[in-house]
Amino acid sequence: MFLALFFLGFVQGLTEFLPVSSSGHLVLFSKVFGIEESLFVSIILHVATLLSVVVVLRKEVWHIIRHPFSKESMQLIMATIPTCIIALIFMPILKDSFNGVLLPLCFLISAILLMFSQRVKNGNKFDYKTALFMGIAQGFAIFPGLSRSGTTISAGLLSKGEREKVTKFSFIMSLPIIVLSLILELYEIFVVGESITIQFWPMIISFLTAFVTGVFAIKFMIKATAKANLTWFALYLVLIAIISLFIL
C-alpha cells in the first residue's frame, strides 16, 4: 500500500502538469499493475496538485483573488464556462462507456497537437479569444489520454498567444476545475455514502510526493514551453499510444 500510494502521488504530480495526460496514465497503470485510485486518495492528490499551482503561481493567483473584476479574472471565467459545459455533456458518456478503447487515439491526438503548436511562432498577446479556445480545449481533456495541460497550451499557442502567459494560464485555469472535482468527490463521500479507508502516513507521503513533483513539473513546463521544447513529449505520447494498443 505504501509503495502504491507513493507511486500514485509521483505519477499524479508529474503527469498532471506535463503534457502527457495523468488520467490516461492512471488507466494504463490500473490495467498493468492493478493499482486502483480510491476516492479518498483522489481527493488527497487533487488537493496536492491544487497547492502546487497556488505555490508556484502565487502572485498571479493572489492578483485574481484581490481583483475579481480584472481582465485576468474575466479571462478565467471565460475559460471555465465552456469547460464546464463540455464536461457536463460528455461526462455521463465517459462514465457509462469508456473502457480504454479510445486511449491510444487520445494519446495520439495530444501528440499531434503538441507537434503543430511547437511550429507556431511566439505570439505577443493573450486576449479573451485565447482564453476561450483554451477553455474549450480543457473541456475535451476529460477524455483520458487527452492531456489537459497539453491541449490547453497547444490551443493557446495555436491562437497566437504569448508562450509564458499561455503556460501560466493553463495551470491557473485548472484551479476552478480541481475545486469542482473536489466538491463532487466530497459529495460522493458525505451524501452518496461512498466508503473510504484512511491510512495516515501512506496518505501523507502520497500527498507530499504529488505536491513536490507538481511544483517541479510546473516550473519545468513554463521554461520548456518558452523555449518551444515540447517535441520530446509528443514523441513520448506516440510511443505510449503504440504501447497502449497492446495493453488494453
How far the first Cα of the chain sits from its last, in Å, is 24
The torsion region of residue 196 among left (phi > 0), alpha (psi -120 to 50) and beta comes to beta
pLDDT over threshold 70, residue 175: yes
Mean pLDDT estimate for the chain: 88
Per the structure, the complete domain to which residue 128 belongs is given by: 2-247
Out of 178-182, 192-196, 198-202, least confident range: 192-196
What are the backbone angles phi and psi of residue 154, rounded to the nearest 5°?
-60, -45
Q: How many domains does the chain have?
A: 1
CA dihedral (197, 200, 206, 207) in degrees, to 10, reads 110
Q: What is the pTM (predicted TM-score) of this model?
A: 0.91
pLDDT at 196 over 70: no
> Whole-angstrom Cα distance, residue 244 to residue 2?
26
Q: What is the mean pLDDT of residues 216-232?
A: 90
